[in-house]
Amino acid sequence: MYGLNSDGSVFPAYQRLNGLSPQIQRFDSKTFLQRGNGSALLLVGVTGDPLLEDIAGTVQSLQSGRYFQQPWWSSLLEKALIAVLLLYALWLMPKLGNGVRALLAILLLLVLATAQIGVQITQMLWLPLGVAIQFLLFATLMVTLWRKQQQPIEQLQRQHHDIAVPWSRHLLQQGQLDQALDALQFCRTSPDLLELLYELGGQHERKRRPAAAVAVYRVLQQRKRRYKDVAKRIKLLEQPQGMAPTALAPSLSKTVVIADSHSQPQFGRYQVESELGRGAMGVVYLGFDPKISRRVAIKTLDYSRYEGDELVAVKTRFFREAEAAGRLRHPNIVSVYDVGEDHDLAYIAMDYIEGQPLSDFTSKKNQLPAAEVLTIIADVADALHYAHGEQIIHRDIKPSNILYQRETGKVTVTDFGIARIIGEHSTQTGEILGSPLYMSPEQILGKKVDRASDIFSLGVTLFQLLVAELPFRGDNIAELSRQILQGKPANIRDLCPGLSAGVRRIINKALQKEPRERYRDAAEMASALRAAS
């Protein structure tokens, strides 16, 4: 019994194709019969016939056991090898350099050839590795030619990438976010590109543009499915408005203390650090100007809170403050550095003053000493005199609009939101703006106001800081207005018996109903205050 292949064939070791000739003894019929050799195999044919010699070699190989058998699993091995080589050719081979690709091809060829020869010698098995070897050679040649063709294209792509990424970053720094994204459209994916896209999305978040931020993050995800916390940001930004946590989408209606620097709000070039307080028109933030490394106070006006004519009026007041304060340069007046509009709000960047509003010292338990109060109000009067000289009337002097840093004694007048610039084209007659508790009689009546109105409001502020009560009181606006117009101020002698007569005279003069009966200017009031202290 001889082992045969599945198709009944064998691969003899002594075939003529292997350069070996079978041992054949030639006899004629007479000689063969005379010998009577019953164990010999007789092949009848023409002497020298190649087919006859092949048959003889095959028979001799079978009898001697010198033949190669093809195992049953050889066809499965052949298919598996071709599949692995196909995966290698499609996935890994294009990423390799020409030298590495050629070296790996030689190594793989040696492995396949060595495996085939080794199995033949040791196991007498024939493995059909020829197709796999041919496929490897063909794939290496094709990929090498393809890569050679791609090299000029890749060089152009690299050049485009090296130009487009810095240009996009420049556009990002200039605030042109849409153009910055367009500049990256045809760039190849790289770590610096992904980081730039991530920063673009964060910039849209800082500008309070959730839809635009999501669009950028989607582009990033198309290039790299899982990059940093992009998936989380998209999920949070796509939540209904007002539901997203302040860490990713801070609202102007909530206190902001940003822990997530990537989505930290930004107005223009100013980065927001925390909330400082709230005013009638918007929120005031502590910010940072990266260009000159300076901390600033950023006062904002949220457009979404107003509509129509009301928005126009509020914007006018807001930018009037920037115009008024921006014209003033005085140590006791807040300095305005910049003003602008950013998407859905306007902002004013001004000097950040570390101090407390004087409204913190208007209760009896927190009162300041009288001498200290007189010095503070004298400094405010100096600031008002300077502003009046620059043709600006504040019109809203009150304790909350005066900051005081007690450690240094620095006094700063803020909030010129309803200031009137003398000589401006718009009329102020009939316009009642300000805080009713501190309004002058002419403000109550809607008359055109001048520097005497600020002096009256400063007198009310002085009165409150000294005695922790207001000079005019009423249960409602109408009663309060009547007291300011017609009533006498509360008797300060009864409220503060130890107050000097000089201080009482200053207050009485500042609170006169008729503007001409008050101090001629704020400088005169400042001199009187310093003389009385």
Fold category of 264-351 in CATH: Phosphorylase Kinase; domain 1 (3.30.200)
Outline which parts of the chain fall under CATH 3.30.200.20. 264-351
Outline which parts of the chain fall under CATH 1.25.40.10. 156-237
Overall size of the chain counted in residues: 533
Main-chain dihedrals φ then ψ at residue 511, nearest 5 degrees = -100, 20
pTM over 0.75: no
Strand 266-267 vs strand 270-278: parallel, antiparallel, or unpaired? antiparallel
How many Å apart are CA 195 and CA 197, to the nearest integer?
5
126 against 426, higher pLDDT: 126
> What's the gap between Cα 530 and its chain centre?
53
Superfamily of domain 156-237: Tetratricopeptide repeat domain (1.25.40.10)
48 against 473, higher pLDDT: 473
At 80-139, the pLDDT tens digits run 999 999 999 889 888 888 889 899 999 999 999 898 888 888 888 888 888 899 999 999
Main-chain dihedrals φ then ψ at residue 89, nearest 5 degrees = -70, -35
Coil vs helix vs strand at 16? helix
Assess whether pLDDT exceeds 60 at residue 16: no
User: Of 289, 379, 382, 396, which is the active-site residue?
Assistant: 396
Coil vs helix vs strand at 409? coil
Report yes or no: 496 and 341 within 8 Å, Cβ to Cβ. Answer: no
Provide the pLDDT for residue 1.
Answer: 54
Assess whether pLDDT exceeds 50 at residue 426: no
How many Å apart are CA 57 and CA 54, to the nearest integer?
5
Superfamily of domain 356-532: Transferase(Phosphotransferase) domain 1 (1.10.510.10)
At 328-382, the pLDDT tens digits run 889 999 888 888 887 778 888 989 988 899 999 999 999 999 999 999 999 999 9
Provide the pLDDT for residue 103.
Answer: 92
How many Å apart are CA 335 and CA 342, to the nearest integer?
21
Report yes or no: 441 and 457 within 8 Å, Cβ to Cβ. Answer: no
Outline which parts of the chain fall under CATH 1.10.510.10. 356-532
What percentage of the chain's residues is helix, strand, coil (to nearest 5)?
A: 50, 10, 35
Report yes or no: 506 and 465 within 8 Å, Cβ to Cβ. Answer: no
> What is the radius of gyration, based on Cα positions, of the chain?
48
Select, from the ranges 316-320, 385-389, 492-496, the one with the highest average predicted confidence (pLDDT): 385-389
Angle at CA of residue 168, ends 343 and 191, nearest 5° = 115
Q: Is 450 a residue of the active site?
A: no
